[in-house]
Amino acid sequence: MTDIEIRNENGQLVGYDRDTGDKVPISFESLNAEKALISGRTHESPVYVPSSTAGLNDGLVTHYRFDNVSSGTVKDLAGDSDLSVNGDSATTRGIVSDAYQFHDSNDYLITNSHPALSGGDGFTISAFCRVYSPTASPGNFTTFLQKRPRNQGDNQAEFQLLISHSNSFGVSSAPFNDRIQFAWGDGSSSNAVAAPQTTGRGPMYHIAVRFEQDVNPALSNPHRVTIMVNGRVWHTEYVSTIPKAQDGQMLAIGTKFAGNGTVDDAGKGSVGEVRLYDKPKSLTAMREMGRYAFPASETFVAQYLGPHTESGTTIDIDTSNPKFTDPVPRWDSSESDPLRILLYNGTGEKTEFWTASSLDDTDWTRVNGDVTSGFTPDGTLTLQDWIEIDGTYYVYGTDSFQTRVFSGPDFGNLTHQASIVDEPDGGVYYEESTGEIHLYTEDPDEAVGVGSDKLSHYVSTSPTSGFSKVGTALDITDRSWHTGDPDIKMIDGVYWMHTDNTSAHPHYGTALARSEDLYSWEIVREDVKEAKGGDLSLFFNDDERQWYAAAEYIEENLDSAPYGGVGFYKVDKQMLG
């Protein structure tokens, strides 16, 4: 049985084959009862029900987990290619299992006798991968997997999975050109395919690459490479050459060897669970490699809709000026222009108020070029979040590492009320049932360059005063990234926090945490979106009954402020199981 996508269509559960898109009959008996994903619940968005993990073993040649690296050997759970540890045996938090952590040229895992994957119809490789921000300019690559004879060149490589830190293989001094790359040799030349999207440093990505041989023999490029990241196809490319099968040769994890057998590029990162197959797996199977072992819990994935910055009276991509950051959106269906958003103008150093009739509108209106014109800040004032109480909007912002609150009947004109806490970059949530306002800010005592390792939690019954610190809401000191600028919403009885993953400023990801009570939070996803940029903020389009988000959009080639503009996302709920 293939995997089924369950949709709620007018109150009826309808099944779709995820590979063909065809409608299929379903019953509760035909679903995997162990998952119990739909029992007693109604979902308005797709629920993915894995049929079985047994299909993941078909064609599996090698399977590594890194929960016991300190023993000096990493067992091959599917074959006979155990890995030896060279250098440090440190591990860090992974997704399915612990992740092996490599720091320099002395840290890697290696086996000198690994069977060939190529030679049949193709093959598939799967790994959880993370790049850390290097202390100095990186080399050309951070290499996660490399398979070839140790003392031969890249033209003999069966496969390499890596992150390229450059354009056209030239070293980049800024972390805005990181791209997932799959490389191989055909015996005489080296070849590579790279996904056009850029990745951030700090999040762990699940990367699955499939090579299919002779998909269309009539073409000059008959073979196909597919790169999937976190369950979504990032890139497909047809190629003319086939990886050279290398039976009984070296497989290395965490480093790249040169043709003379010495380390060529010493990266800094970590590798989680690795699966290697000697056949091309289906897209469904590739998705399951990345999520079959997750706990059964809901999460959200943001589908990128496009960048938006000012160009005349239209918000569209524009690399001149100004550059917008810190979006604060809301949707008001009672207005003729229901999309209403505050944007910080990095050139004019003012917060502006814009409106539009829809996300697709090309005729945006700037209603006010300075919504806090009656207030003189101590430093740079940026607005971050808002709540509504009894028809009044309270907007919270940062001014010289303190949180201030402004109020007004709409976003268009805001009046300063007070400085409420001496911590910056806050997100706010109003719990109507208790009358409490919950404020989450970056803890300055835990600040690390950009962002913080902890988010403080303040509570008050007044939106403008009386905030008392009740503890730490989120502690990520054991992770490789920092955080800040949280956004909190309740959806289906669960509190969700989108917060910055600030591993490489300003090339941010967006992490997702959940809570049952607003006090204890757990990270459930390190990055929910593809395009880079921080300060993500959700808003609900009640005309469509759909969640959307606005976030800073960082153009990959911009490495100095002001950085970019605003990107919009459609936010879809899914079940990991």
Look up residue 447 and give its DSSP letter. B
Residue with the larger pLDDT of the pair 148 and 309? 148
For residue 162 the two structure tokens come to 């890596």
What is the pLDDT at residue 173? Answer: 44
What is the pLDDT at residue 137? Answer: 46
Look up residue 453 and give its DSSP letter. S
| β-pair partners for 83 | 74
Beta strand ranges found along 400-535 (DSSP E)? 402-408, 415-421, 427-431, 436-442, 454-460, 468-475, 487-491, 494-501, 509-515, 522-525
CA 112 – CA 250 distance, rounded (Å): 4
Q: What is the mean pLDDT of residues 333-351?
A: 89
- Which residue ranges make up each domain of the chain? 4-50, 55-293, 299-576
Residue with the larger pLDDT of the pair 295 and 541? 541
Closest CA to 197 of 511, 529, 530: 530
| β-pair partners for 497 | 488, 513
pTM beyond 0.75, yes or no: no
Question: For 258-303, what is each residue's pLDDT tens digit?
Answer: 887 777 766 788 899 999 999 999 888 898 888 643 333 455 555 5
| β-pair partners for 365 | 355
pLDDT exceeds cutoff 70 at 114: yes
What is the pLDDT at residue 544? Answer: 85
Structural contact between residues 251 and 263, judged by C-beta atoms closer than 8 angstroms: no
Name the phi and psi angles at 547, rounded to 5: -80, 135
CA 408 – CA 406 distance, rounded (Å): 7
Query: Which residue in the block uniquely carries the two structure tokens 């459930």?
Result: 524
Q: C-alpha distances in angstroms, 253 versus 128, 157, 161, 271? A: 12, 14, 10, 8
Q: What is the mean pLDDT of residues 213-235?
A: 89
Structural contact between residues 3 and 51, judged by C-beta atoms closer than 8 angstroms: yes
Q: C-alpha distances in angstroms, 495 versus 294, 299, 303, 520? A: 20, 11, 21, 10
What CATH number does domain 299-576 carry, 2.115.10.20, 2.60.40.730, 3.30.420.10, 2.60.40.2550? Answer: 2.115.10.20
CA 216 – CA 306 distance, rounded (Å): 33
Q: What is the mean pLDDT of residues 501-518?
A: 83
Residues above pLDDT 90, as percent of the chain: 44
Residue with the larger pLDDT of the pair 421 and 96? 421
Name the phi and psi angles at 463, rounded to 5: -70, -10
CA 215 – CA 225 distance, rounded (Å): 10
Residue 86: CB partners within 8 Å, gap ≥ 6?
Answer: 106, 107, 108, 109, 110
Structural contact between residues 339 and 356, judged by C-beta atoms closer than 8 angstroms: yes
For residue 334 the two structure tokens come to 């009672």
What is the pLDDT at residue 170? Answer: 40
Which fold does the domain 55-293 belong to in CATH?
A: Jelly Rolls (2.60.120)
Look up residue 286 and give its DSSP letter. H
